[in-house]
Structure 1
């Protein structure tokens, strides 16, 4: 191997980078374990509600140490931000897909028109969407075009006053369509921006929000989120965009000064009370001990006093060390005449706001300011400070102007090239805006743009009252900040509703159990593989084991570096990659053994073995990688995690098998040491095998034909157990204190819901309950109604005294109730089903083309694809035949599609290796008959085929036994590996042979040596 030094240096550096990336995960884990121990010591498990108390204690502990250095300048917050992300199934949390109503947007753009053509097209589109895979807007255009003489640019539809700058009455339908597409995209972007800002304030680590194509759907993932009701409100409530007058900084300073004095006095009372001084007055301030050092407060100039206090303030959140409870939290004083009162570090913001909203403190506000509202400004990426604004509120808390009056907003540039934001209001809004801007100009004050109680901008008015409703907001904006503000302004007029069409909620305890089972299966599978490789290949197997461990380090390091999400199927993907990555080493070692058997020296055998195996290794991994890429594109959530880890594993395993293993082997043999690549027990295994596989092909055809026909018969008569992913509905994982009989529970559920299923899920005290009751209806009240009905139906099986709230949220103390739930609307279920179909079909087409390109003979492609169809049909047939009596979940869901694609990849992996050897035999033995070449190739690869299948099965069985939630997933893979191994020998190759025999095969001229023979 050339460039050994370069490869060694790269491997070492890459390994160090991976260790560095994973160090963040280790550091955050150690601190979280400290917090867990602290919480357990503080709240033993013998009190009521100890789980919630522990959670709060853990959060407080981690918040308190968040910025403390752990190692080499790394804080817990740094480590948490860069740790390996865990998916919902491992950490618990909430995942929802929202559908922004494009129908509502269109109706809003048309000013709620009563035009019959427009409304007829909307109704027709609603009906078409039930079975359509197109976006709503495309189907709307299609239905509108069917109406005779219907014109989008009609004054009664889109050529209205609000869209006059973009659509005129003389435009054709084709000219209007791109304008509407752009407007809809802007509306969805506005909704996306609102959600993103809300989620940033929600407080979970590593949230994920992304738009899903052009469908108007938005995915929101909140790992670790617990408050389900709060999340529902967060993602479905209407954006509250408002415009308010604000106070100037100097108007609020006297109040802050008085508030600080009051808080000091209350703190003094607490201190004296602790020292034994009798106090009869009620203490309302924080009861933590404080320093009572006095500060001269005799000055009458409030501004000067505040300046002095701010200079002396200590930067500390420890109340016991504070001189002035309020002012010690202020980092920067606001500029006189400006709208920013003070700036406070984000870590102190909650405490500061709590002081200001204390009833006794608010009582200090002057009469004319009694309705004042305190609000923080938008957090900045470049600063840890938050700006405080004080809004001029009123008795009813109603703004003079709300965001509903805004018809458009855009980020633009002024004549000097500076970033600005322009907005246009409707007639009613323009009139009120003229009043507000005129007042602000005369008073030299500002108007705050407030979204969901956060001040996004507080511009001043520089040129008098603004008439016409068109305004330009200037400021020191970046392009991104300008776009954000434009999105915020547009969000205020967003007429679209947001419905949750898919949701998944996983409790934290279920997530921890998934981690435990995943780690257990991972460890056992790894140990089995390591032992087997040493048993079969001796010292060479030990070198392969070292490369395998390095491969695992690389996989996790890359996942952490890319900030990919690790899911339970992702762990399965890693473990499966371990089993499959052994294949590359097996191929290499088997070729080296062949070369040694020919009498070559060890050095030459190693060189030729690696060289000859490379083609098969690349072909096998590329075909598997192609199916993984398709899965990555169509998958979401856990399935995307599976595909990600599988693809990363393929790349890293190729590097470690081809380069790292060879480094060890070459290093060992450079001093003349012998390396046998076998042990005493395996030295002569699979030697001199001469099985006539082709002679048995007709028997194999009959057996496979019978299996496929029986499977198809079962698919027709009793179908498959489709999960909610494919049919829509709601599913709940419910845990009971005692074992339950699913058939008994199901009878009670059917009496309530008419349609319901109950199956054991893992242990006998846990059920997976599915119902299609009101599957077409959405909304928080429907979800609550169904959860309540479920609670009433299951009451006879639940612990006495378990309340509805404890059941619905999963009783954290007793570990019973709803542990996870999932809802899939019928529309997205159809989309998932279609995506699954196209992903399987697409993978077959892509692989057919790749094999055709690689082998240059369509017979090879036909044999490979026929074998894949054979494998998929048999797996589906077995699932259809057995799902009713198997003791584990065998639903057909997205995870099952991942399994099918993995089976396709594995089957092709095996088939391509066989085909590669057949091609090699064709080129080497040009005078041999076709059947002799094919049988010779099959016999020569038999040891590799069985060895790889055995190691992969060891891995899959380990996961099947220990990872209970993945048993159905693993069962399909186990069947797939067995059937795939069989089909590569008895289906793919025989079909290729039969088609080649009928059309003939051109071969090269015999070599001179073979002519002589």
Structure 2
């Protein structure tokens, strides 16, 4: 329903973002979903829908970086000291290749250039006097810089969050990237790139304004209301001749107060009265005067700077009234009407309108915010939250004058409004003249309120500007295509799984299918409740998790079939099947979940969506496979239903198989070695095609109205850029992907305009009709960080899996064998991407999606390997391997789990083929990596991991001293 409302808003606005926002605001409290017994408004359903990622909805993804070098320079008051300047320059030079932060690097470089030098004299400025002492050690100064850097990031985050909230974006996502000086921002549905850049990179404007009292302004507001009413009546064409004019009642304060109280809540009895009031008082119909009930029961004007209250949905209409030429002419030059930044309460969604008094004739504030040296959240003598504000010496003198004026009349003390980016954050009443430059701001604050206000006050002296270091723009056309292809691949993938399970396992398979459908509903419900963003890789993660969720049922059903083949009754066979499969189910899912968790920690952007859905899918599928299927099967047993777990064609499939996986293992070692050696040669000679998020630069996905040759596009853009871009066919012959490093190191505001002009000039020479469907910019620093994080994520995954296998199986041979198989899978995948790059007709770039594929393949591969290891452990614990060689035991384990390996492999591979075919070009490289990885992951489980255990144990026979435990001799 939320999507329908937003579609209506777009149609109504016809491209005007302000109109679209006003429409959505007006629908916030309107019922859009009626179940009869329950009604839900737009705001309710919007907050509970699963938000779509940029690749599905279109929009802008931006990574902002707070400039720490500017922070250090500003905190040192731009000290010209040669050692300071050289140290900072050297630190900047190392930043692109080091994982250390700029402050650490700066400290190291300063120590190199001046081993006995002191940092304190550089930073013990007048503004920092209370924080840095002249005799402070270098370690203390560096700690001060780190504290200030954290504070700068938090302040920037709060400012950006507020700006985005006021920007009117539906379901924005803004988050600080922990441990960095970066802020990630996603704005779905936004395509005005220039407006977003201006919004995000604009300097914060903190100001202090004197205020008018409501009693001083009401007559003006009343006259404005009369003027609007007269204008509307004079222009109304539907007034019948001879109709009696309604008597104006806008001057009657009691009647105005009767319509809305001071919280903005409607108290009017009937819609007819509301319509009449709106006609007579158009402004007051959307802006309730600030009134209260006096002791004598009479309505009176509320004192203070607030002149009215308006519901969120009505603020745009109030602004429209106030911005008409006739009304603007009525408002004095020294009056400024601004909204409060937050609603009066979260429930009411009602905002206050403040009356500010300008100083001089140019409409200036009383003071600028750059006079603040410090602000902190504190508590007063009564332990109530307050904000302590400290000013510079010049600011103290100005503040003394401003507060003296505000407190001059003891019976009518005025407020000082604290304004950031044209929104009032607070308007405390001045009690007395304040000298000395230290002020306390009290009120009905919570501790969080004081922290936020302290951050706002410090924003006026924000020493570190925020710059865009990464940008990803997805056009709405590409978003719609992604949704279409994602849905097709999802539906086809699920249908294939359902049909295969029903055909292979008969009635038991259809029981598993019911659990799978329930699992899908659980997964979507959990995602909605957690506010998880659904991305295109996320859809792939859902389908893949469903395919892998079948594995738990396959493990159970194969066990049940084994028990039935031994002649056990159906009920006991089902019970034993669940019991014996539990160890393998938990081990295989935990290892896969661990790789998803690491991907979640190290990944960013769409990869987070993939990791989230994969992990949630594992959790919900475990519940569905273990409990839902068991409940259904028990229900069928209670009703004496016959439950079959195979059809005639699959009844004896893989039963009593005697494949010798071990004796021919060296042949498979040779095959793997050949692929890996060829790949290594290719890696060192041809290398890889790195995605823009690994090497930095700009990337564009362009669709032309006709087929184009990549060489022609490259030659034209070489002329424009001066350097040759990389141009590849991306899907059909009229679509290309262009990657260039042109001006990637330049972060000035004019850069994007220059690059955009040259790109469009070049593309128009190829064909005047083209569409840029996707654009991405990644700075070299962030590209290096992403690349290093990717390497760390793979290494860390391998270590975590080794530790889990070692702890779970209590033998280092199993852990080492598992790691050898994982390294084998990673190297084979890298080899294929290097060998076939430029040969296959789709992109084989190494990027974050490729790393996601590698980690998921590792999870799948270890899943497969662990199932076999569990069976080997079972044979050992139950004494089945007594007096048998290691080769015999492992061969038996591989054959007994072969049916499960094949069935799960078929499901996952079938789904990946579907995603590869139907998922679109964006997912093609990712699904290809997954497909190759799963094939070789299954191969490595059978022919590398478990056979390698034989090499480590060296074929010694197993002996048993008790019937309880059988040992493998090292």
TM-score calculated relative to the size of structure 1: 0.89
Q: Name the CA shift for 1:936/1:291 in 2 (closer, same or farther; >3 Å).
A: farther
CA distance in 1, matches of 2:785, 2:280: 62
CA distance in 1, matches of 2:756, 2:244: 52
Q: Secondary structure at the match of 2:120?
A: coil
CA distance in 2, matches of 1:451, 1:147: 42
Does structure 2 conserve the Cα–Cα contact (< 8 Å) formed by 1:152 and 1:158?
A: no
- 1:189 to 2:151 alignment: no
Does structure 1 conserve the Cα–Cα contact (< 8 Å) formed by 2:103 and 2:142?
A: no
CA distance in 1, matches of 2:402, 2:958: 87
CA distance in 1, matches of 2:128, 2:446: 28
> After alignment, is 857-866 or 392-401 more displaced?
392-401
> After alignment, is 966-975 or 607-616 more displaced?
607-616
Does structure 1 conserve the Cα–Cα contact (< 8 Å) formed by 2:702 and 2:736?
A: yes
C-alpha displacement of 1:477: 1.3
Structure 2: which 5+ residue stretches go unaligned?
292-300
Does structure 2 conserve the Cα–Cα contact (< 8 Å) formed by 1:264 and 1:324?
A: yes
Does structure 2 conserve the Cα–Cα contact (< 8 Å) formed by 1:505 and 1:820?
A: yes
1:614 aligned partner: 582
The one of 750, 755, 758 equivalent to 1:781 is 750
1:591 aligned partner: 559
Q: Name the CA shift for 1:582/1:292 in 2 (closer, same or farther; >3 Å).
A: farther
- 1:911 to 2:865 alignment: yes
Does structure 2 conserve the Cα–Cα contact (< 8 Å) formed by 1:292 and 1:323?
A: no
1:794 aligned partner: 763
User: Within 5 Å, which residues of 2 pair with 1:203-282?
Assistant: 203-271=168-236, 273-275=237-239
1:895 aligned partner: 849
Please give the per-residue CA displacement for 1:705-748, whole angstroms capped at 9, x wherever unaligned. 11110011111111111011110001111122223232322222
The one of 938, 948, 952 equivalent to 1:981 is 938
CA distance in 1, matches of 2:923, 2:119: 55
The one of 657, 660, 674 equivalent to 1:689 is 657
The one of 482, 486, 494 equivalent to 2:462 is 494
User: Within 5 Å, which residues of 2 pair with 1:228-627?
Assistant: 228-271=193-236, 273-275=237-239, 293-296=246-249, 321-333=278-290, 335-365=301-331, 369-380=332-343, 381-382=345-346, 383-393=348-358, 394-443=360-409, 444-464=413-433, 466-627=434-595
2:817 aligned partner: 863
Q: Secondary structure at the match of 1:52?
A: coil
Q: Secondary structure at the match of 2:203?
A: coil
The one of 91, 94, 97 equivalent to 1:131 is 97
Please give the per-residue CA displacement for 1:301-334, whole angstroms capped at 9, x wherever unaligned. x867865887899698979953211122223415
C-alpha displacement of 1:638: 0.7
Please give the per-residue CA displacement for 1:809-844, whole angstroms capped at 9, x wherever unaligned. xxxxxxx52112111000000000100001000000
Does structure 2 conserve the Cα–Cα contact (< 8 Å) formed by 1:319 and 1:325?
A: no
CA distance in 2, matches of 1:905, 1:336: 65
Please give the per-residue CA displacement for 1:770-815, whole angstroms capped at 9, x wherever unaligned. 1111111113311111111111111133336xxxxxxxxxxxxxxx
Q: Name the CA shift for 1:229/1:147 in 2 (closer, same or farther; >3 Å).
A: same
Please give the per-residue CA displacement for 1:140-197, whole angstroms capped at 9, x wherever unaligned. 2222232435555533x12222222222122222233333322221122111111111
Q: CA RMSD in A?
A: 2.5
2:298 aligned partner: none
> After alignment, is 973-982 or 389-398 more displaced?
389-398
User: Within 5 Å, which residues of 2 pair with 1:723-872?
Assistant: 723-753=691-721, 754-799=723-768, 816-872=770-826
The one of 665, 669, 673 equivalent to 1:705 is 673
1:28 aligned partner: 2
Q: Secondary structure at the match of 2:80?
A: coil
Does structure 2 conserve the Cα–Cα contact (< 8 Å) formed by 1:166 and 1:179?
A: yes
C-alpha displacement of 1:673: 3.5
CA distance in 2, matches of 1:772, 1:1009: 63
> After alignment, is 599-608 or 490-499 more displaced?
599-608
Does structure 2 conserve the Cα–Cα contact (< 8 Å) formed by 1:503 and 1:822?
A: yes
Q: Name the CA shift for 1:128/1:275 in 2 (closer, same or farther; >3 Å).
A: same
CA distance in 2, matches of 1:933, 1:447: 83
2:913 aligned partner: 957
Please give the per-residue CA displacement for 1:336-369, whole angstroms capped at 9, x wherever unaligned. 441111112221112112222322123234xxx3
Please give the per-residue CA displacement for 1:628-651, whole angstroms capped at 9, x wherever unaligned. 110010111110110111111111
CA distance in 1, matches of 2:245, 2:570: 84
Q: Name the CA shift for 1:420/1:60 in 2 (closer, same or farther; >3 Å).
A: closer
Please give the per-residue CA displacement for 1:250-303, whole angstroms capped at 9, x wherever unaligned. 1111111211111111111112x444879xxxxxxxxxxx99632257x7xx86
Does structure 2 conserve the Cα–Cα contact (< 8 Å) formed by 1:739 and 1:765?
A: yes
CA distance in 2, matches of 1:742, 1:320: 66
C-alpha displacement of 1:116: 2.8
2:928 aligned partner: 971
C-alpha displacement of 1:512: 1.4
The one of 951, 954, 959 equivalent to 1:994 is 951
Please give the per-residue CA displacement for 1:949-996, whole angstroms capped at 9, x wherever unaligned. 111011101111111120100000110111111111111111111111
Please give the per-residue CA displacement for 1:386-408, whole angstroms capped at 9, x wherever unaligned. 11112223433333321111111
C-alpha displacement of 1:470: 1.6
Q: Secondary structure at the match of 1:486?
A: helix
Does structure 2 conserve the Cα–Cα contact (< 8 Å) formed by 1:135 and 1:214?
A: no
C-alpha displacement of 1:763: 3.1
Does structure 2 conserve the Cα–Cα contact (< 8 Å) formed by 1:331 and 1:345?
A: no
C-alpha displacement of 1:227: 2.0
The one of 55, 65, 68 equivalent to 2:27 is 65
Q: Name the CA shift for 1:350/1:1007 in 2 (closer, same or farther; >3 Å).
A: closer
- 1:884 to 2:852 alignment: no
Does structure 1 conserve the Cα–Cα contact (< 8 Å) formed by 2:469 and 2:779?
A: yes
> After alignment, is 506-515 or 824-833 more displaced?
506-515
CA distance in 2, matches of 1:732, 1:556: 32
C-alpha displacement of 1:112: 2.0
CA distance in 2, matches of 1:713, 1:437: 76
C-alpha displacement of 1:688: 2.8
Does structure 2 conserve the Cα–Cα contact (< 8 Å) formed by 1:447 and 1:458?
A: yes
1:927 aligned partner: 883
Q: Name the CA shift for 1:988/1:522 in 2 (closer, same or farther; >3 Å).
A: same
CA distance in 1, matches of 2:962, 2:430: 92
Does structure 2 conserve the Cα–Cα contact (< 8 Å) formed by 1:90 and 1:512?
A: yes
- 1:104 to 2:70 alignment: yes
Please give the per-residue CA displacement for 1:555-579, whole angstroms capped at 9, x wherever unaligned. 1111001111111101100100111
Q: Name the CA shift for 1:327/1:985 in 2 (closer, same or farther; >3 Å).
A: same
Aligned residues: 936
Does structure 2 conserve the Cα–Cα contact (< 8 Å) formed by 1:616 and 1:912?
A: yes
Q: Name the CA shift for 1:253/1:310 in 2 (closer, same or farther; >3 Å).
A: farther
2:685 aligned partner: 717
CA distance in 2, matches of 1:559, 1:912: 29
Q: Name the CA shift for 1:527/1:145 in 2 (closer, same or farther; >3 Å).
A: same
CA distance in 1, matches of 2:876, 2:307: 84
CA distance in 1, matches of 2:693, 2:569: 58
User: Within 5 Å, which residues of 2 pair with 1:659-674?
Assistant: 659-674=627-642
